[in-house]
Amino acid sequence: MLVENSEPCHRSIGSLYLQPGCNTVKDAEWERLMDNGYRRSVSKLIDAGILIVHESLKPTQALVAKTYDMELLEDWLSEAKGPLKGAIKKQISLLSDTEEKAS
What are the domain boundaries of the chain? 1-57, 58-103
Band the pLDDT of 103: cuts 50, 70, 90. Answer: low
- Work out the average pLDDT over 67-71: 89
| Cβ proximity of 65 and 87 under 8 Å | yes
| Cβ proximity of 18 and 11 under 8 Å | yes
* DSSP, res 45: H
Q: Write down the pLDDT at residue 13.
A: 92
| Cβ proximity of 41 and 13 under 8 Å | yes
Rounded to the nearest 10 degrees, how much is the dihedral formed by the CA atoms of 2, 103, 94, 20?
Answer: 30
Q: Write down the pLDDT at residue 30.
A: 93
Q: Write down the pLDDT at residue 97.
A: 82
Q: Write down the pLDDT at residue 99.
A: 67
Please state, as a whole number, how many other Cβ atoms lie within 10 Å of the Cβ of residue 6: 14
Q: Average pLDDT, whole number, for the chain? A: 90
